[in-house]
Structure formats: C-alpha cells, structure tokens
Amino acid sequence: MKFSGADERPTPRAVPAPADRSRPTVPPRSDRSGLTLLEVLLVLAVMVLMAAVTMPILNGTFEGRKLRRAADVIRADWGRARVQAIRTGVEWAFVYEPGTGRYTIAQYSPYQPPTIPSSITPEEQRNFDYGDGLLPVGVRFDQGQTASDSRSDALLGDGGGSGGGAGGSTGARGAAASGGGPMTILFYPDGTAQQTQLRLVNDRNWYVQLDLRGLTGTASVSEVLAIDNGGTR
C-alpha cells in the first residue's frame, strides 16, 4: 500500500548570496528633515525684526505708566498736606523744584519756610522711586501756575517762592530760569489751597497735568499727552 506523501521531500531553502563588501553601504533614508543654515538665519532675522518693532512700544507703555503713576503720587501727597493742615490747624506747604524731580511737604512757617532736603539728589532717582520727596528717574516738574490770594500774600510776601507776584500767578519754568528756586503751594486749615496747575514731563516730551482746586483742596490728573501737539500721544 502506497501513501500519497511518501515520496514528498522537503524543498531546499534558498541561501542568500554573500554581501559584496567592496561596495559602500547606503544608510536608510529618514523621513525627518533638518534645517539648513539659511533657514536658521532667516528665523533669527525675523526674531530680531519683531523685537525691534515691539520693544519701543513696550518701552513707551512703561514710560507712560510711570508718568501717570508719578502724578498719582503727587496728588496723594497734596491730599496728605491738606489733611495735615486741617488736623494741625496751621498751613502746610508742598515745595518743589522745577526742572528736577525733587519736592517735599512740611508744615509752613513764614519765619522758617520749608526747604527740600539736601540729601535728596537727582542722582538718587530710580525707575521705581515714588514719593518720599523724589520722582522716578526721567520724570520731572515742568510748568506750574499757582494763583496768589490774600493769605498767601501775607505768608509768602512778594514772590516768596509761590510765584504770587503781579498778575496772581507765574510759571514754574520762568521761576527756575530767573533763579527763583523752589516753588511753594500752600494748604490752609479750612481745607482750601492755592489754585494750581502743574505739569510733570518725561524725556519723551510727554506730560500729565495736575489741577488743584483752591476751594476744595482736591486735585485731578489728566491723561498722558504729548507736548509737541498738545494732543494725546
């Protein structure tokens, strides 16, 4: 009896031919592609261009906020001088030096008018200094007009620091240029004050204006404006 699978033999397995070592082997191709030097340089150029465009904008925003913040600090110091005058029953003074960032508030005496401490110098200004008699770096007092009245005339005398001479007011710039020195704003025990307009300016020719109302002794602050055209920056 013969089985159908008796004569079947296993098929011989094919043996691969030995590799030819004389030929250089080619590495397998990768789907990941790298950046060329030109592409890297283009990316860097775009980043530099974006930084050049955005940095002045960011810096301008910072300078504007610093100017407005300095004005808010001066307004707060005016309020403090008004409260002290009411509480103590005597006049208090805000004394500032045009063209600089130096100022002080103190009780006023016609026999010994308050002066700005000599320990405070413009070289001590810093970007984030607010109050304590010094404005931040780059911010300074510019134009100011303070109206004289019968009480200021009696206390300060003719042009005695507040600019209360003929015409009832004077500009801080004119006082500084003529050697008038520091300017004085008086706060009275009844809560009133000398009517005043005062500008703070920075190196970009931007300014904010503070308006001190004489009858109420309260102040307001304008938006940040440009000196060149008088409009919003």
pLDDT attached to residue 169: 39
Residues with Cβ within 8 Å of 141's Cβ and at least 6 positions away in sequence, in order, are 96, 97, 98, 99, 100, 101, 103, 135, 172, 198, 199, 200
What pLDDT shows up at residue 44?
81
Burial class for 107, CB neighbours closer than 10 Å (0-12, 13-18, 19+)? middle
pLDDT the model gives residue 227: 81
| Structural contact between residues 143 and 199, judged by C-beta atoms closer than 8 angstroms | yes
| pLDDT tens per residue, range 74-107 | 999 999 999 999 999 999 999 999 998 889 999 9
- Quote the pLDDT of residue 167: 33
- According to DSSP, the β-strands at 183-187 and 92-96 are antiparallel
Sequence-distant (≥ 6) Cβ neighbours of residue 55 within 8 angstroms: none
Alpha-carbon span 222 to 210, nearest angstrom: 7
Q: What is the pLDDT of residue 43?
A: 79
Q: Quote the pLDDT of residue 133.
A: 83
**How distant is the alpha carbon of residue 183 from its chain centre?**
25
Contact predicate 144/98, CB 8 Å: yes
pLDDT for 137: 85
Residue 46 pLDDT: 78
Q: How far apart are CA 217 and CA 168, in angstroms?
A: 18
**Strand segments (E) across the chain:** 92-96, 103-107, 139-146, 183-187, 196-202, 206-212, 219-221, 225-226
Q: Which of the residues in the chain have pLDDT under 50?
A: 58, 158-179
